[in-house]
Structure 1
Amino acid sequence: MRNAPKVVRKPKNFWGTLRRLFKYMSLKKWLLLLAFVLSGVATILQIFTPRVLGNATTIIFNGVIEGVQEGTSRFPIDFSSIYKILTMVAILYIANALLSYVAQFTLVRIVQKTVYDLRQDFKAKMSLVPISYYDTNSNGDIMSRAINDVDNIARQLVQTVNQAIISIVQFFGIFIMMLSISWKLSIVALITVPLSAFIISLIAPRSQRYFSKQQRELGKLNGQIEENFSGHTEIISFNQEEKSIEIFEEQNEKLFKVAFKAQFISGVLMPLMNMVKNLGYVFVAVLGGIEVATGVMPLGDVQAFLTYTNQFSEPMKQLTNILNTIQSIVASTERIFEVLDEEEMEITSTDIPAVQTDDKVTFEHVRFGYDRSADLMTDFNLSVKSGQMVAIVGPTGAGKSTIINLLERFYDVRGGSIKLEGVDTRDMDRDALRDRFAMVLQDTWLFHGTIFENIKYGARKGITDEEVYAAAKMAHADEFIRTLPEGYQTYLNEEASNISQGQRQLLTIARAFIKDPEILILDEATSSVDTRTEILIQNAMRKLLEGRTSFVVAHRLSTIRDADNIIVMNQGDIMETGTHDELMAQKGFYADLYNSQFTEAS
């Protein structure tokens, strides 16, 4: 079930998602209100400009007409009034620019804070969802939500909100100015509105579906790319380069088709809106010319009205573009909210009274399964005394790693209980529980940073440098670390591939040493080191394990001969239990496993 892709179901709640996004923005509601007011005032100033310029045209036109009527070559034009009008226009433009800049700056700050909060909530949520969420969702899809979808919101939200304010104010402001000039021409211009709305309502829903699908396909493609890059060595070693390219091209083709349809359908809106605008402009120009010819309207008013008619379609076009952009934003936002709405791990109490018991860890009638339709364990029972080393062996799929998952509460049992010193682990705080464990897995995990930082990772507060060096020596990592050019300050790359697999394992063992845990979990911790290093580590482990309880998952049975108790598992149940000598004397399942390894080795 690890990293199996999960089908993302679209909530189909456009307005609900949009309202929820604006709730994030409303945390800065006073700044948002300021941005709305500034942008609105700037737009109103811009709307007044054509009317003011129309007055200048009327003055010039009247002066020319008067000069023609008097038969003089000099036209009596009132240039002082024109200068005043042009000065007023310049002031309006400058004020519009300043207010627009401040509004844009304010909106950028609000949107970036909104995106910051989304990222913070997303990151916090990923630490609250159960491990099963990571098992049923690909890493690439999770990364796509955290990076691509959030980035898509950040890139488009500023311009969308700003343009929405401007377009709404423009629409109503221009319409009022048009009514103040001529109600007849206003009715003609207004006829285009329902036609534009009909076109939008016809095309927009289809476009939204494709935008949502586009984001899902992008997540799948990212998952595939991440998987190919992380497994690049395996792909090459199995000569699967061409196959991986074919799979990539197939997924890339799916994304291309969906993205093309989304962009094509949304792109159809603009030509249709331009057609509607041009039809309205032609009708207004014809009727306005008739009004001027009959002396009903001055030329300046018709000029201003034609400018307003041309501008009247702009808010509609901008709102159309905004609608397309909002669809993309909502598609990304829905994917973020899908994660934020995931079920979280239950918060458990930390004030649990101590229980008197000789057992360190107890499994009582444990029932569990990864798939809810079937149980891997049906009635698992195990008691572990303090300081015991318990080895867990069995074939692949027997349930060895499942015990580790249950101990650390990566998963909770369905029935029965797991108790730590008599207290049910489900009643304990997860962080407090995991502080009592240290774990070294077969698959090493090291982050991009220095070797010193990686060893110190997860250590208690106040740890000294000397203790870090001592832990490295106990893990027999100090010798190879000091041969590196930068020693403990050597930086590991993303996958720590600048050191060997065995060296990576030594560092994770050193990290477990420095945590000084009550309970140690080792899952084939020495599988990637050579025989000599393995012997040295086992000697160091004996010192570390003194007075501590440990669970050791082993495939090489020769490494656990000294275990206090060996649990032999198969299909989720305990088949045999005892020391190495006791199990060998039984000549059962364990003895067969042990002897088969030496037979294979010979």
Structure 2
Amino acid sequence: APYRRSAPAAARPPPVPRVGPSPARPQVKPRGPAPPGADSRGRGRDSAPGLLALSAAVVLALGAALLNVRIPVLLGQLVNVVARGAQSRLAGYLRPPACFPQGLLTFGYIALLSRVGEQVAASMRKALFISLLRQDVAFYDANRTGQLVNRLTADVQEFKSSFKLIISQGLRSSTQAAGCILSLYLLSPKLTGLLLLVMPTLVGAGALVGSFLRSLSRRAQEQVAKATGVADEVLGNVRTVRAFAMEDQQAGLYCAEAEHSSQLSQRLGLGIAAFQGLSNLALNGIVLGTIFVGGSLMAGNELSPGDLMSFLVASQTVQRSMANISILFGQVVRGLSAGARVLEFMTLEPKVPLRGGASIPSHSLLGHVAFHRVSFSYPTRPGHPVLRDFSLSLPPGKTVAIVGPSGGGKSTVAALLERFYEPTQGSITLDGHDIASLDPSWLRGQVIGFISQDPVLFGTTIMENIRFGKPGASDEEVYAAARLANADGFIRSFPEGYGTVVGERGAALSGGQRQRIAIARALLKDPAVLVLDEATSALDAESERVVQAALERAARGRTVLVIAHRLSTVRGAHLIVRGREQRTGPALRRGALQGPSPRPSSPTRGPLGPSSRPPAPGQVLRLPPPPRRSSPAWASATPSTRGSRAPSC
């Protein structure tokens, strides 16, 4: 069978713990992350067209703004011509020298900005999604899925809108304001000086208000993300909500969060409206003051009628530009807050890198796993130790079961082996090599097969769900893995066979069917180590029987770690470990390998039958080998005297 591990005798000698010379440690091959140069070159090639388009859009926007600056001067000259009665020169000033080019330039920069904005948003979403996939499991323990999805969607959209408006409106308005202020100075330094005296006051007041609005905007966006998280959680668990008739309560919870979000957004809108209203009031006052002072200067022959008209039109252009900037201010505040939230996760580095480290060649991989005095506390609960001074050895090709009550740290052992978390103290080794020095991607993708209590399937076909364990696998390999997992029969009974869509999270399948597909998915990559975390605890008796048979077939020739809370489900294991409860809370501690248990007097009763005492906390028992399975190779090295102790595991 292609999925039964059977290494050559030279490669896999029968392991005898601490007896005789230790076998040579297999050589490891360094594996590093993908060369950064290739990625950076690829990003450079992808970003070059975007930079060119952005540069062209900026140039076109500046050109349109400069043409707008020229219009007040032309109008002033036209007024002077009309005032002097020079009808012969009127036709020359009626030519539209700036209208048509300005229209073309406006079309060009808006079209380019739309393209660049969408490219920027797509790049941010991809980069953020990749960054989220790289994060540790502890990161997801501390952040709700709905909030992360909100950053991928709403925050990126907010930043994209602000980015486009800053170029299309902000840059143009700023250029027009600067150009017209220069024209105003050339027309009348006195009037321009009066304007410049007022502007610093307005800018200072705007900065103070802006700081308050930015803080309020961040709070509003965080509340939107919180409401989205509630909705995502409720809709994702709608069956549980329906089973407990909690629709009204959950609707009330979401409405409360949405109402709080609405109140914060209303306060933000009120602040932006007040800022814009005061800005327009100040700008209108500037225009009225300009007319009054300009009329006085014209009466003293210091300004011509055309100059006054040019000054008024230019000041109106400045007013409109400043009004646009004030309107954009609120959008820019929201966009910057959203961009900061996205950038926060884009630049976040995981504690456990996704790739990088060494790997063990497949011909040298034995699958011997050992925990050495491991202690661990979850990052979200640093003061509550789950494992304390825990040691355990999983001999190659053997099945070791950890049994204990819920919350005792059994699943934590599996999570540490998968490097979902890093131990607080101690180390975990694979064939003598600390897994912290091994490539996590190689470890999870090729060495360890993980099957959980509630397997997650993706909303695609059965074929693609099984192939998820090995994307390059052929159809025949998928069929072989399904047969080994006792799944081929029920899959082919469906009208579409392996092309059957399983629905969201496998909702179209039963629990036993989902579990067998998960087993096939794990076996497809032919793992050396198989981790079964309560793999049958949620199944009915018939489904458990079928799944257990599949697991027994899958375990042959592999190192298997079984997590269970019932001793009846692990009778086929070579070793059984029970946890020890601490006064500070449930925790697994160091276990020791006991001598061989006495054989049962009756073939129908095992060592855990009614006449047998259950194993003591912290004790490791050796059970009789299951049918058609040879006795553990290391059993001969265990002292046969009753009560004697073998080496520590």
| More displaced 10-residue stretch of structure 1: 427-436 or 147-156 | 147-156
Q: Distance in 2 between matches of 1:30 and 1:511?
A: 46
- 2:372 aligned residue (364, 386, 396): 364
Counterpart of 2:486 in 1: which secondary structure? coil
Q: Distance in 1 between matches of 2:224 and 2:49?
A: 31
Within a 5 Å distance, the mapping from 1:394-413 to structure 2 comes to 394-413=404-423
Within a 5 Å distance, the mapping from 1:448-459 to structure 2 comes to 448-459=459-470
Structure 2 equivalent of residue 86 of structure 1:
94
Within a 5 Å distance, the mapping from 1:520-559 to structure 2 comes to 520-559=530-569
Maintained 8 Å contact 2:406/2:565 = no
Counterpart of 2:532 in 1: which secondary structure? strand
Structure 2 equivalent of residue 511 of structure 1:
521
- 1:55 partnered with 2:65: no
User: What is the CA distance between 1:112 and its match in structure 2?
Assistant: 3.4
Q: Deviations over 1:207-237 (max 9, x none)?
A: 1110011111111111111111111121222
Counterpart of 2:371 in 1: which secondary structure? strand
- 1:37 partnered with 2:59: yes
CA change 1:351–1:393 in 2 (3 A) is: closer
Q: Distance in 2 between matches of 1:108 and 1:153?
A: 13
CA change 1:143–1:26 in 2 (3 A) is: same
User: What is the CA distance between 1:460 and its match in structure 2?
Assistant: 6.0
- Normalised by the length of structure 2, the TM-score is 0.79
Q: Deviations over 1:175-233 (max 9, x none)?
A: 11112222233234444423421331231111111001111111111111111111112
Maintained 8 Å contact 1:195/1:276 = no
Q: Distance in 2 between matches of 1:27 and 1:164?
A: 23
Structure 1 equivalent of residue 144 of structure 2:
138
Counterpart of 2:402 in 1: which secondary structure? strand
Counterpart of 1:491 in 2: which secondary structure? coil
Measured on the aligned residues, the alpha-carbon RMSD in Å equals: 2.9
Structure 1 equivalent of residue 396 of structure 2:
386
Maintained 8 Å contact 2:394/2:561 = no
Maintained 8 Å contact 1:355/1:422 = no
- 2:499 aligned residue (478, 483, 489): 489
- 1:444 aligned residue (434, 439, 455): 455
Structure 1 equivalent of residue 193 of structure 2:
187
| More displaced 10-residue stretch of structure 1: 378-387 or 98-107 | 98-107
Within a 5 Å distance, the mapping from 1:224-239 to structure 2 comes to 224-239=230-245
User: What is the CA distance between 1:148 and its match in structure 2?
Assistant: 1.6
- 1:350 partnered with 2:372: no
User: What is the CA distance between 1:326 and its match in structure 2?
Assistant: 2.0
2:427 alignment partner AA: S
Q: Distance in 2 between matches of 1:37 and 1:192?
A: 31
User: What is the CA distance between 1:272 and its match in structure 2?
Assistant: 0.8
Structure 2 equivalent of residue 101 of structure 1:
107
User: What is the CA distance between 1:353 and its match in structure 2?
Assistant: 10
% identical equivalent positions: 29
Tell me, which stretches of 5 or more residues in structure 1 are unaligned? 1-23, 64-75, 593-602
User: What is the CA distance between 1:428 and its match in structure 2?
Assistant: 0.6
Maintained 8 Å contact 1:188/1:280 = no
Q: Deviations over 1:485-526 (max 9, x none)?
A: 432212233333233333222221221232221111112223
Q: Distance in 2 between matches of 1:591 and 1:421?
A: 24
- 1:429 aligned residue (439, 449, 453): 439
User: What is the CA distance between 1:395 and its match in structure 2?
Assistant: 0.3
2:372 alignment partner AA: E
1:112 alignment partner AA: E
Q: Distance in 2 between matches of 1:119 and 1:157?
A: 15
Structure 2 equivalent of residue 46 of structure 1:
68
User: What is the CA distance between 1:354 and its match in structure 2?
Assistant: 11
Maintained 8 Å contact 1:367/1:415 = yes
Maintained 8 Å contact 1:49/1:92 = yes
Structure 2 equivalent of residue 21 of structure 1:
none
CA change 1:288–1:94 in 2 (3 A) is: same
- 1:326 partnered with 2:317: no
Q: Distance in 2 between matches of 1:182 and 1:310?
A: 15
| More displaced 10-residue stretch of structure 1: 362-371 or 316-325 | 316-325
Counterpart of 2:228 in 1: which secondary structure? helix
User: What is the CA distance between 1:373 and its match in structure 2?
Assistant: 2.8
CA change 1:388–1:160 in 2 (3 A) is: same
2:433 alignment partner AA: V
Counterpart of 1:35 in 2: which secondary structure? helix
Q: Distance in 2 between matches of 1:424 and 1:293?
A: 91
- 1:285 partnered with 2:296: no
